[in-house]
Amino acid sequence: MYRREIIAETHKDWANLIGISYALGGQARSKGLNCYGLVREVYKGINITLPIRNEMELSAELVQKEGANWEKIVNPEPYAVALMRSNIGLHLGVITPDMQLLRCDENKGVVLSKLKKYDHVIISFYRYKADGGEILPIAGGGSVGRAIGGLLTAVAAFVFPPMLAGAGIAGWANLASLGGWALAGAIGASMAISIVGSMVVDSLFPIPSPEMPSLSGWDNNLKDSRHYTWDGVVNDHRPGLAKPWLFGTMKVGGQIISEHVSYDANNNEYLNMLICPVAHRITRFDDVCINDTESQYYGQVQVALRPGDDEQTIIDTFRKIYTQYLSGAKVQYDASADNPTNYIAFTSKKDITGCRLVISAPRGLYEIVGSSPQARDVVFRIQYKKHTEETWNLVLGDFSWQAGNVTDNTSGFSGRIWRGFDTNIDTNAIRFRLISYHTIDETTTFTWSRYRVYYRREGASSWILHGTYEVGACYYGYLADGSWDIVISGLATGKYQVRIDWANDCCTNPYGTHNINAFAIDTLYLSVQAQSVTISGNASNPLEAVTKIIELLDLEEDTYNFRIWRTTVDQTSIYWCDDIFLKTYSEIITDELAYPNHALIGVSAMATDRLSGSRPKITAIGIGQPLSVPPVGDRYDTTVYADEGIVTGTGNTINNILVDGMRKILIDAQLPNPSAPSIFYYWLVRMDSPGFAQPDRLLTKYFNRVHTWEIVGARTRLYLQSTEEIPADTQVMVFYENYAPTDSYAWTIAKVLIEGSHGRITSNHIDWESFAELDADCNELVDGEQRHKFDAVIDFSEDLWGLVTRIVQQASAQIIPYGDKYKIIIDKPVSSPAQVFGEGNTKNVHVYPIPQRDRANVLVVAYLDENLNYDEKTISEEDIQSGEYPIVKTLSPLVGITRESEARRYLRRLLKYNRYIDHEIEFDAGSESIEVEVGNCFAFQSQVNDFAFSGRILGTNDAGDKVILDKSIEIESGVTYRLRVWGADGVVYTWEGVLTGYSITEVPKPTGLTIDNNKPYECNYILAKTSEINTIYRTKSIKRSAETMFSTIRGIVYRDEVYS
């Protein structure tokens, strides 16, 4: 990003906008942009200022006031605005100088696309022209995404399924509006086959597009993840990434919000990083690691953790957001004081409020004099200006003490007896000596005096107390003067007023002289800033690398240009070493945010041999927040005895926990004695808040973290961060964090639906009974452990329905809209069918074979193993029968499964699906269909296939009247068989008759079937005897007719072998 000249204004801004996140109403780079905000930013770069449009208050009348400063044109041209159609209305984009389309995507932020790709949605083009006669149309909108530090976008970039647009979920009650189909995916088996095999997915999902997405695993969605990568968990500084959600326990990395380099008094370099692993409150972080080694094993490392509470405190090191860029550009010499021709020049990538420059001399600064190096100085200058302005401003450099340039003044202040002065020049520090004399008539036997020093910046209305100073001016009978060296430092550069008040004295002879002459100030110096900066060699070791940090703060937020040059001649002699370089440049955004509801890790690490100045990888084990509450026996249901208010003062600790500013709540229950300090927490749930707090529901009531507690008789005093009072007698629930479920599939799905839909789906739309059933099923013990648990970080873009579908199917279940609610159907063994159908009460019966070509019998998958510190592990399972050859399929990485035992159970079940699930049935049924719901099993009694044999056609015999099967089949004498062949043309061809012989490999060829003997294995077959038999099916979908009593039912074959 460092260039010899300032980037041309007609090019700079649009290119640097790429990657900025989308935000509703976004008009600033630091907080995100919408489509009109993007237009404004591009035009700002070409010195055209467009008015701000507030989407929340936008109307035709407001747009009219902007003026008709546009003209409509037919063909695109550089910087023309393109008006486009989108799924949410109208949308704007900008044509770039190289004739591409710059636009703002809700999920990806600002992106650059080929113009031709959007020809079909572009309505017209607009050229900016004062009084051009046209108004730029109203456009914009989209989902709301809150940015933190301008870096993170909306959680998981959820997109709602089409049926949720507009009216909301209530519209699902009228299934006729969706073609009459209950939107259910194939339960269990369809999930397995569509992921594993490469057969026709449509045969498994005969559901109207686009209401239900087809399943393709997680692979297409994980490209933006910071956790499911080839390199393991990483930290990422890119803007516009999805905010992560944590469920259960998982190793987390996260988005880098801020990073900068600092130096201590001994010139040791520290890298400071603030990352956001999770965009919500969590239980806690454990095992913070730097480069996969626990931080406690590093020297000079400080770690600050924030678990994402509503009222968490700021991490002091990161009150400003730093975005750091590496440079290495050499600073050039130019003799000019203010208008150089040789310099380093660069432009900020976004609007900033400050910057930090690190200038380095990596080989030291010295001159060889005689035979020894002598430290030398290099002076350089820095200028800056707003990108849209012409005048350069000088960055002031080092401060030096100069004899005071002040005017005596006592006005504007009142006290007992006081002196004062005003500075005549700008300064950032003031130094003087305060002298307290013994009384003038020398009659005092002992004098004790107190002085107070006040200051304020010129123009300020209130005074700031700098300090109080006390001394005895007569020590044990010896007359003496007392004095103090006063230093007021750390001031923002400016003019200041100082006042010294002789507040009181005691033990003084009442006849002594007490007047202004009893004290004085002298040796007054002001710190004055030079117009240049000096970097000096280390006098004790001139060959040692030295650095100089220049921090420019309090800029008006905007885009800035910078240039740097040295005014000390660049020596070329071999006896000199005086090259200096711009090591790093950091852009600063002032941000006094504690980031509530964002879990944070702040690390300050000294660059050592183990941390060689490069960016370290910061990870931790994160534990998600409670998704539900524990059973009655594992919690305290009690009341508040008293709200004892806020802890005042500083330095208050309970059990070695700092409780300053926390609220004290006394409850009518006695908790166990806490350890000191405890790394675990209790949670307090306010039962007077709306929502649920019961074991068979998602926890939606307001709950708060108990940081520590102490036993008070039969009661317990809790300490928690809350500015809101909790009245006495309030019903509360308190439970230990380890007893609260954080990894439940059922409550994960409920949380994603409710919070991911931003209010469109509420708790009233959840069929809690079916969700509780899934929770109980997942908690059952299998091989001595919980059947299913969901430990995952969701940090990748995914539509809401697709995400929920994938999560629930990993738990061997399916989610369906059922009336106006979401219901979960578990794929588990059944003891008896809900209904029996047959040829007597059905019509239009169709059997659809599921092709078996390339069904995998060896599955390979990777997952993050909890026993390997959540590093990736790859496993495989196989089901190769006699006579088969291996067909290997590699699945996408598993998201949510972290135990090898559970991952193997998952693979084995998929293999069983592939082995036994081979056909579906569809038919129309009358009133009997009322007894059947999606997910139920039913029996079908008819002359249907039992599908004993299936495989592939090898070709035809020499006569061409028979097909050759891929295996030898034993047949029964006198039994009618039916052969169905899935032809290469996609048509199913059927032959039916009696076969002769005992073990056969040839069967009569169905009429119309064409076989290419040069392409063996091209066609699949199913050979079965017909008999009166009950076959069990699980209901996939039901299409109920509003005009007749008949319903169309589709089911997939049910096999007990899948569950054995």
Query: CB-based burial of residue 81 (10 Å sphere; 0-12 exposed, 13-18 middle, 19+ buried)?
Result: buried
CATH of 12-142, one of 3.40.50.970, 3.40.720.10, 3.20.20.10, 3.90.1720.10: 3.90.1720.10
Between these two residues, 659 and 298, which has the higher pLDDT value?
A: 659
Please give the class, per CATH, of domain 401-529.
Answer: mainly beta
Q: Which residue has the higher pLDDT, 950 or 250?
A: 250
Mean pLDDT of 138-155: 36
* % of the chain exceeding 70 in pLDDT: 81
What local confidence, expressed as pLDDT, does residue 25 receive?
A: 67
DSSP 974: T
Residue 209 has pLDDT above 80, yes or no: no
Q: Nearest CA to 1009 among 948, 966, 956?
A: 956
Higher pLDDT, 800 or 535: 535
- What is the structure's pLDDT at 568? 96
Q: Does 716 have pLDDT greater than 60? A: yes
Give the mean model confidence (pLDDT) for residues 540-563: 90
**How far, in Å, CA of 165 to CA of 599, rounded?**
32
* pLDDT tens digits, one per residue of 219-254: 445 666 767 765 677 787 766 666 788 999 999 988
So what's the architecture of 323-398+531-590 in CATH? Answer: Sandwich (2.60)
Q: pLDDT tens for residues 280-330? A: 899 999 899 888 888 877 777 889 899 988 888 888 778 777 888 888 899
Average pLDDT over residues 590-601: 79
- Cβ neighbours around 488 below 10 Å, total: 20
Is the model more confident about 678 or about 288? 288
> Residue 367: which pLDDT band, with cuts at 50, 70 and 90?
very high
Answer whether 923's CB lies under 8 Å from 844's CB: yes
**pLDDT > 90? residue 437:** no
pLDDT at 143 over 50: no
Sorted by where each begins, the domain ranges of the chain are 12-142, 249-319+593-624, 323-398+531-590, 401-529, 632-689+703-736, 920-1059
The pLDDT tens digits of the residues spanning 838-879 come to 766 788 888 888 776 667 889 999 999 999 999 889 999 999
Phi, psi of 163 (to 5 degrees): -70, -15
Whether pLDDT at 750 is above 90: yes
pLDDT over 70 at 31, yes or no: no
- pLDDT bucket at 1036, cuts 50 / 70 / 90: confident
Residue range 900-904: average pLDDT?
95
Distance CA 216, CA 219 (A): 8
Same topology, domains 12-142 and 401-529? Answer is no
Quote the tokens at residue 57: 């208050």
Beta strands in 279-416 (DSSP E): 282-290, 293-294, 301-306, 320-330, 344-347, 354-361, 366-369, 372-375, 377-386, 393-394, 399-403, 406-408
Phi, psi for residue 537 in degrees, rounded to 5:
-70, 160
**Strongest mean pLDDT among 1-15, 162-176, 805-819, 825-839:** 805-819
- Is 855 exposed, middle or buried, given 0-12, 13-18 or 19+ CB atoms closer than 10 A? buried
Lowest-pLDDT range, 215-224, 586-595, 817-826, 849-858? 215-224
* Residue 881: its H or E element: none
994 has pLDDT over 60: yes
Q: In 3D, which of 792, 803, 810, 807 has the Cα closest to residue 902?
A: 810
Instruction: Name the range with the highest mean pLDDT among 562-571, 643-652, 913-922.
Output: 562-571
pLDDT single digits (tens) 187-205: 333 333 222 222 222 222 2
Has residue 889 got a pLDDT over 80? yes
Q: What is the pLDDT of residue 891?
A: 87
pLDDT, tens digit, 9 for 90 and up, residues 475-487? 444 445 578 889 8
Per-residue confidence (pLDDT) for residue 706, from 0 to 100: 93
pLDDT at site 159: 29
Q: What is the pLDDT of residue 256?
A: 86
**pLDDT of 180 higher than 70:** no
The pLDDT of residue 88 is 56
CATH number of 632-689+703-736: 2.40.30
pLDDT tens per residue, range 691-706 = 999 999 999 999 999 9
Residue 67 has pLDDT above 80, yes or no: no
